[in-house]
Structure 1
Amino acid sequence: MINLWQLFWIFIKVNLLTTSGPASVGLLYQEAVGKLMTEKEFVEAVGFSSVLPGSDALQLAMFVGYRAGGVPGALVALLGSILPPTILILIIVSILRFISGEAWVGNFVRGLAPAVAALMVLVAWNVFRGEAGETITWFTVIIAAGAMIAYILKVPPPLVLVVAGVLGIIVLR
């Protein structure tokens, strides 16, 4: 069982160094896989947290925290996930009241978008490849293509994940 302070600081770090829920998955992947859980468990955690209603990032934190330290671990991970953005948003809102008319603020936000997108693509590629860079199978290609088509058709993501999971049960027996 991991020290609860270490778990708390992992989630403080993840939530201080990333700009959003999806971007935090990449850093949490680096922090958790191999130390707190296996890659397979992490992928399951991401899948389950995406299917359930509510904040994916908080559910993922609780899942990883529970895996690492039971109920106390889940609560510590949740606190480590909530504390940084809460404090930061209070500070940022106070500052934005004074600089809201400045053009550089909008440019800063537009500059973040491609970096976040690139990080999400890299995490997706690592998950798509599998644990030891194993060969991509026809099944993974079909599931990925189907998920992309479903996204374009605006199918709700939880439904896409449930169907992909059911197909995994059926096809990969």
Structure 2
Amino acid sequence: MNNLWPLFWMFLKINLLTTSGPASVGLLYKEAVERGLMTEAQFVEAVGFSSVLPGSDALQLAMFVGYSVGGLPGALVALLGSILPPTVLMLGVASALRWLSGEAWVGGFVRGLAPAVAVLMVLVAWKVFQGEATASVNWVSIAIAGGSLIAYLLNVPAPLVLVAAGFAGILFLR
């Protein structure tokens, strides 16, 4: 019980200072290993274990560290410290959006975002193909992109399109 408050504070601090995920591993290492809460071998095991399981690596790592420090209560406290900052942030954003939803300028703001997001997506795609083109002109990649566009126009679910494109990459882009 004596370690629960520092454990909660440690994970609250980590999730306030980082965006979680891979960015938080370094800070968590510093906090957990250098403070003697766990050994380096235990931390490496925790990172490896949380990376193999499906779901959020950051939350699994938090629960692993919390459990190794304080058992089940430690895992729950670490989980609470990890999910509290993003939860409060999302509740604040949702409340602000709900409060602003009746404002006329919000609709204009969202309609203004749509073309900007579309252009950013096109630029990202251009950079991907530009990087692909510097290695060699790859007609298979263009065929996969074209097939994905056709599948989209035929209302094929996006996850199926992505899986099919991934398998096409495995087969044709080795």
Match of 1:29 in 2: 29
Match of 1:77 in 2: 78
Match of 1:169 in 2: none
- Measured in 2, the distance between the counterparts of 1:86 and 1:37 equals 28
**Which deviations, in whole Å up to 9, do the C-alpha atoms of 1:46-74 show, x marking residues without a partner?**
00001011211111001000111111111
Match of 1:38 in 2: 39
Match of 1:8 in 2: 8
Answer whether contact 1:7 1:77 (CA < 8 A) is retained: yes
Matches within 5 A, 1:75-114: 75-95=76-96
Match of 2:51 in 1: 50
Give the Å deviation of 1:94. Answer: 4.2
Answer whether contact 1:2 1:68 (CA < 8 A) is retained: no
- Measured in 1, the distance between the counterparts of 2:97 and 2:24 equals 24
- Measured in 2, the distance between the counterparts of 1:26 and 1:85 equals 19
Give the Å deviation of 1:27. Answer: 1.2
Give the Å deviation of 1:2. Answer: 5.2
Answer whether contact 1:64 1:74 (CA < 8 A) is retained: yes
TM-score by length of 1: 0.53
Answer whether contact 1:62 1:77 (CA < 8 A) is retained: yes
Whichever of the two has the greater Rg, that structure is 2
What 5-or-longer segments of structure 1 have no aligned partner? Answer: 111-153, 155-173
Give the Å deviation of 1:92. Answer: 3.0
What 5-or-longer segments of structure 2 have no aligned partner? Answer: 101-105, 121-165, 167-174
**Which deviations, in whole Å up to 9, do the C-alpha atoms of 1:108-138 show, x marking residues without a partner?**
xx9xxxxxxxxxxxxxxxxxxxxxxxxxxxx
Gap change, CA 1:48 and 1:7, over 3 Å in 2: same
